[in-house]
């Protein structure tokens, strides 16, 4: 497991839920307050707020490996 706070354009990630097309493999195409993700299954573009992105992101590809990401948001867990 890894804790990661910085993401870059070109990173490949998975989310808590995959895309309805069946793929769960996204390329980060823009980093900012809103994150632009491209589905690697069908090519659809989705935008997530940074907060929503960090709640949903699960793994990031490093070389040939997928590394699990852990985020700690105790203040948000209390809200849910």
Which residues would be at the binding site for Zn ion (CB under 5 A)? 19, 21, 23, 39, 41-42, 44
- Indicate the residue among 44 and 50 with the shorter CB distance to Zn ion: 44
Q: Which residues contact 61 (CB under 8 A, 6 or more apart)?
A: 11, 12, 13, 67
- Indicate the residue among 22 and 63 with the shorter CB distance to Zn ion: 22
Q: Least distance from C-beta 41 to Zn ion, angstroms?
A: 4
β-bridge pairing 26-30 and 34-39 = antiparallel
- Indicate the residue among 42 and 62 with the shorter CB distance to Zn ion: 42
Q: Least distance from C-beta 24 to Zn ion, angstroms?
A: 9
Dist. CA 68–CA 57, nearest whole Å: 9
């Amino acid at each position: 497991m890894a804790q990661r706070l910085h993401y870059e354009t070109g990173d490949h990630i998975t989310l808590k839920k995959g895309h309805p097309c069946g793929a769960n493999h996204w390329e980060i195409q823009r980093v900012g307050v809103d994150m632009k993700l491209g589905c690697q299954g069908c090519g659809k573009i989705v935008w997530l707020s940074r907060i929503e992105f960090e709640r949903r992101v699960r793994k990031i590809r490093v070389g040939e490996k997928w590394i699990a990401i852990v985020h700690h948001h105790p203040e948000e867990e209390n809200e849910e």
